[in-house]
Amino acid sequence: MLRMSGVLLTLLAAGCASTAPGQDPVQLKLAELDARVARMEHASGNQVELSQRLDEAQASLRELRGRVDELEHSNDELRKQQRDLYADLEKRISAAGGASAGATGPAGSAAPGSAGAASTGAAAATSPGAGGSDNGGGGAAAANTPSSVEQAVYSQAFDALKAGSYSVAITGFKDFLGTYPTSPLAENAQYWLGEAYYVNRDYEAAAGAFRAVMRKWPDSRKAPDALLKLGYTQFEQKQFAAARATLLEVTKKYPGTDSARLAADRLKRIPAQPPASAAQ
């Protein structure tokens, strides 16, 4: 009896020793469940992170769409302004060509400040008020007919302007003014240099060119247009106080002219000045 009990105890001990704790089915099942829970928690965490990233991406997309809309609106405005600039320049060039072709009498008899008074022909250049004097140089140049070379150089620059080659026109007019500063065509070259700068949106250079017209030829036919376009240039630079003063000067100095009418129209587009208290 004692011997059998010993054998049973020995067998039980051997059985317990032969079963590893890790191979217990219950433990294995628990370990598997723990692993699945860990994977689910990890996946859930990834989903939360993905959701956050998606929200951020959607917010960025909305912001980008807003910026695109703003840019498209700005581009539309720029295109409209560019069309207005081209239309204005074409109108002035056409008027200049018509005035040159139809000038049978003194060009000085034309209404001062007419919207385009550039002369490409010798008759317009030699007529009174066509820029035959250079007041900025301290002496008067003879109101004579430009040489064929002067006419050819000027016409080349003016033709480039009419063709829309503004950079070429700018270079041509600058070369002309540097070579023939006292030419009867110098006043027109200076004015159209300003127009070429203006339509090319180089407003700082345009302002300088228009001021040069008024400084050198203050009593010429180009002075009203130059003063008007100086006001336009200041308007485009958002120098509204200066633009208002310049355009008001046009209306007072040249009443009843096209330049005065155009100045009055542009004055309506200038934003109202803020109250003095708000400005402080």
Q: Which domains are delineated in the chain?
A: 134-273 (1.25.40.10)
Instruction: Please state, in angstroms and rounded to a whole number, the distance separating the CA atoms of residues 278 and 280.
Output: 5
pLDDT score, position 247:
97
User: Model-level pTM?
Assistant: 0.55
pLDDT score, position 54:
79
- The answer, yes or no, to whether residue 132 has pLDDT greater than 50, is no
pLDDT score, position 73:
54
- Show the tokens assigned to 57: 């991406």
* pLDDT confidence band for 227 (50 / 70 / 90): very high
CB 195 within 8 A of CB 161: yes
Q: Show the 3-state SS of 197-240.
A: HHHCCCHHHHHHHHHHHHHHCCCCCHHHHHHHHHHHHHHHCCCH
Tokens 């542009």 sit on residue: 266
CB 151 within 8 A of CB 122: yes
What is the distance between the terminal CA atoms of the chain, rounded to a whole angstrom? 116
- The answer, yes or no, to whether residue 99 has pLDDT greater than 90, is no
List, for residues 24-73, the tens digit of each pLDDT value: 777 787 888 888 888 887 777 777 777 778 777 877 767 666 666 666 55
